[in-house]
Amino acid sequence: MAAKIRLALRLILAAVFLYAAWSKLRQPWLVFAMSVDSYQILPPWMVFAVARTLPWLELLLGLLLLAGIYLRYAAPVCSLLLLIFYAAMVRAYLSGLGIDCGCFGVGEAVSPATLARDGALLAGAFGLCFLVYRREGSGMRTSA
Give the distance from CA 69 to its chain's centroid.
Answer: 17
Over residues 33-45, the mean pLDDT reads: 93
Q: What is the pLDDT of residue 135?
A: 67
Residue 134 parent element (H or E): helix 112-134
| pLDDT of 17 higher than 70 | yes
Alpha-carbon distance of 102 to 109, in angstroms, equals 8
| Residue ranges per structural domain of the chain | 2-134
> Tens of pLDDT along 116-141?
999 999 999 999 999 999 865 544 45
- Segment 63-108, tens digit of pLDDT: 999 999 999 999 999 999 999 999 999 999 999 988 888 888 777 8
Q: Look up the pTM and report it.
A: 0.88
